[in-house]
Amino acid sequence: MNRVPNWLVYVVLGCAALGFVIGFSSNPIAYSIPLVLAAIIFIFYRLGPKRTTSHPRVKKSAATEAKMKAMRNAKHTKNVKNHKPIKTRRSSASLTVIDGNKGKNSSSHSIEKSSTGETQ
């Protein structure tokens, strides 16, 4: 996905701010009610119940710490390897066609002959 250039974001935000200021100066009541509601929601969000982590902190074992340290070091010192493309294996099954010489009933046999122009 392509990123939006920073200058375009600033232009759009500047136009939005300019439109807000012009609109607020022409009709302050229409803009003050949503601003007050947004401020109240923001205050409740900030001063609302705190999200506490009730999970007790457990100390990691020495083996786990060593493993995590090794993983972190491996990420930083890891060289990019050239991976070979995965080859798909072809099926080794040998397929054979079985002749369908089934006994046909007489009604379908007669229809088949009549369509080809033969008589019984």
- More confident site: 66 or 120: 66
Q: What is the pTM of this model?
A: 0.32
End-to-end CA distance of the chain: 72
Among 14, 11, 10, smallest CA distance to 22 is for 14
Q: Where are the domains positioned within the chain?
A: 26-50
Segment of 21-25, 82-86, 103-107 carrying the highest mean pLDDT: 21-25
**pLDDT for residue 13:** 95
Per mean pLDDT, which of 32-41, 65-74, 82-91 is the most reliable? 32-41
How far apart (Å, rounded) are the C-alpha atoms in residues 115 and 120?
12
Task: Kindly state the DSSP code that residue 57 receives in the 8-state scheme.
Answer: P
